[in-house]
Amino acid sequence: MWGIEVGEIKAMAHARRNITYLPEANFPDSLKVTTELDEALENAEDVLIAVPSHAFRETLQRLKASRSPVRHLAWATKGFETDSGLLPHQVAAEVLDPSLPTAVISGPTFAAEVAAGLPSAVSIASTDKNNARRLAEAISTETFRAYTAKDIVGVEVGGATKNVLAIGAGISDGLGFGANTRIAMVTRGLMEMTRLGLALGAEKDTFMGLSGMGDLVLTCTDNQSRNRRFGLELAKGANVEEARNAIGQVVEGYYAAKAVYKVATRLKVEMPIVEQIYRVICEGVAPREAVATLMRRPLTPE
């Protein structure tokens, strides 16, 4: 199941914690662990999907085929669908009943810190403000705060694009280019993210919020980010497969680089940083040469 073996799930059920990735965080008593989707969905008022983007459509198809109806659906999946270039809400509209109340949850959160009870905040976007508010009230605690939004496109574009840019930040830092380079890449990366979002119908202000600038800065500057660590490995000279194996978990930016580049090319949106990261990952361009190409670009107004 998406890289998680049944045996691992059974081990979680027995240990009452995720031994591999969050061994310090015990599951609450009310949490039931199961390998059976129908059992998990039984009598559920809300369904929250948290799977990699390349497994999102398959998960929705399994939900549709289940014997338990889905009343409300939310997802924390970040990324464009690689082949189609669709955002998660567009995939959901294709697979499920378009009248189903849906929402996307995104923002600058590392799982270990949330599990440790450190103060964190996310955005919940839904076209139905009452649905967003209801979910925000349901998941907010004294240390976890949810803000509501209506711009699903903007929230999803931010979540997808920041993973690609985090790879670039890892490459930059791994090559020893310093703080000046990092902040230039983050700032210009935010502009690229915003341009793509606007081309897809997002609202500009969304990208100054938690799911835009917030998530971008987090993943570009902290080594808890798998995407940033992937970039660091590439900068050391590892090839793509070696770098992915070194991380040992799904690197969303690996898939997102292909999808974001494809969508930007189709829409004729200029994203030079994303383009160079794509060329490093997919065309074997040396990381140092990719940075040099960016610096040699013709001068333009900011």
pLDDT at 133: 98
Q: Which residues pair with 18 in a beta bridge?
A: 22
Neighbours of 46 (CB within 10 A): 16
Q: Note if 162 is an active site residue.
A: yes
pLDDT at 189: 98
Domains of the chain, each with CATH number or no CATH: 1-35 (no CATH), 43-152 (3.40.50.720), 155-295 (1.10.1040.10)
Nearest to 158 by CA among 116, 111, 133, 122: 122
Mean pLDDT in the chain?
A: 95
Contact yes or no for 81/53 (Cβ under 8 A): yes
Share of the chain above pLDDT 90, in %: 93
Please determine, for residue 155, whether its predicted confidence score (pLDDT) is greater than 90. yes
DSSP 21-42: TEEEEEPPTT----S-HHHHHT
Q: What angle do CA 200, 202, 206 make, to 5 degrees?
A: 145
pLDDT at 166: 98
Which residues 6+ apart lie within 8 Å of 301 measured at CB?
A: none
pLDDT at 283: 97
Residue with the two structure tokens 């840019």: 165
pLDDT at 8: 84
CA-CA-CA-CA torsion for 236, 271, 198, 81, nearest 10 degrees? -60
**3-12, 76-85, 116-125, 288-297: the lowest-pLDDT one:** 3-12
Please determine, for residue 2, whether its predicted confidence score (pLDDT) is greater than 50. no
pLDDT at 10: 85
Mean pLDDT, to the nearest integer, of 242-257?
A: 96
Sign of CA dihedral 226, 270, 105, 182: positive
Neighbours of 128 (CB within 10 A): 13
Contact yes or no for 249/21 (Cβ under 8 A): yes
Name the 3-class secondary structure at 120.
strand
Catalytic residue of the set 64, 78, 129, 162: 162
Mean pLDDT, to the nearest integer, of 111-127?
A: 97
pLDDT at 6: 76
Helix residue spans in 96-177 (DSSP H): 111-115, 129-139, 152-174
Dist CA 43 CA 48 (whole Å): 14
